[in-house]
Amino acid sequence: MRNIYLALIRQRDHVAFFLAVLISFSLILSNNTQDIVILQGKANDIFSFLYKPVARLRSMAVVEVEAAVLREKNIQLKLQIESMLNLVAENEQLKNLLKYKRESQLTLLPAKVINKGLTSNLNTITIDVGSNQGVGLYSSVLTPNGVIGKTVAVGKYSSIVQVISDVNFRLSVQVLPSGARGILRWVYGDLCEIREVQKNSEIKIGDRVLTSGFSDIYPKNLPVGIVAGIREERGSFQKIITVRIAENLGSLINVFVITEQKDALE
């Protein structure tokens, strides 16, 4: 026994390395287990508590710029509302004619980004709302510009959001007006790709990309981005659509979490 102990002490470098690799691999392989998610949620509550003062300072620093942008946006929106009111009336008339009414209600919870992870590249953000505010696991997170991710670990007062730039993030989308559907995945920067699109779909650069609704997480018709490129691969029945997402992921400050979605067809 003593000899084994002495051997372990002598070889402690290699033993420590072996254990570190073993534990790391077992953590990687048990990524989606409930225990890891709970552990992350609890740890995140502690880290977000520590980071809150810094986040407050940061948001105060940008509040002036943000106010100017919001004032400008406000005027633009007022103008848009005027024109949209006319369109709403017209739309209502058409819907009544078709005896078709669709109601889609989303409950949005505003949240502040308090941390963007410690890794060299951005693939998660931490927001300051958690289960106490009604956030659930796999709630979709968006900004006025479109979908940016979903919650993957929820603590009492904070949540970790898997951002669209994460390697494992996938989003079922449709391209309008053609209605072509596919799975969106991030490539780099603000560019994403949709691969599973039929070659005969009529898609043009500038077409809008929205969520398809084929998901329990993301409601239908949430904006995602616009088509920035189309290319066809030889020997394949599908084409590859490059999508530019509207949101600058590096400068996220305020987001919304969908806490409840009612989607009813009458």
Partner 1 sequence: MLWSNFLLTMFGVFFLQFFLSEFMSINMIRPDFMTIFVLYTAIKFGRFYGVIAGFTLGLLTDLAGVSSYFGLSSLTYSFSGYLAGYLKNQYNRLIPLYFHLSWVSIILFQFLVYCFVRYQYLYETNLIQFTIKWVLTMGYTMGFILVLQLIFPFKIYSHAESS
The binding site for partner 1 (CB under 8 A) comprises: 12-14, 16-17, 20-21, 23-28, 31, 36, 39-40, 43-44, 47, 50-51, 54, 58, 115-126, 152-153, 160-163, 165-169, 185-189, 193, 249-250
Nearest in space to 228 (alpha carbons), one of 247, 216, 244, 212: 244
Which residue, chain included where needed, has tokens 């992350």? Answer: 40
In degrees rounded to 5, what are phi and psi of residue 220? -70, 150
- CA nearest to 207, candidates 222, 223, 193, 226: 226
Q: Measured from the CB atom, is 50 or 79 closer to partner 1?
A: 50
- Of the pair 4, 167, the CB lying nearest partner 1 is at 167
CB of 44 to partner 1, least distance (A): 6
Following CA atoms 33, 147, 61, 110 in sequence, which dihedral angle do they give, to the nearest 10 degrees?
-80
| CB nearer partner 1, residue 35 or residue 103 | 35
Q: Rounded to the nearest whole angstrom, what is the least distance from the CB of residue 251 to partner 1 in the complex?
A: 9
Tokens 């189309």 — which residue? 230
CB of 199 vs partner 1, minimal distance in Å: 18
Of 185 and 220, the one with the shorter C-beta distance to partner 1 is: 185
Residue with Cβ nearer partner 1 (80 or 168): 168
Q: How far apart are CA 124 and CA 117, in angstroms?
A: 6
Q: How many CB atoms lie within 10 A of CB 49?
A: 14
Q: How far is the CB of 186 from partner 1 (least distance, A)?
A: 7
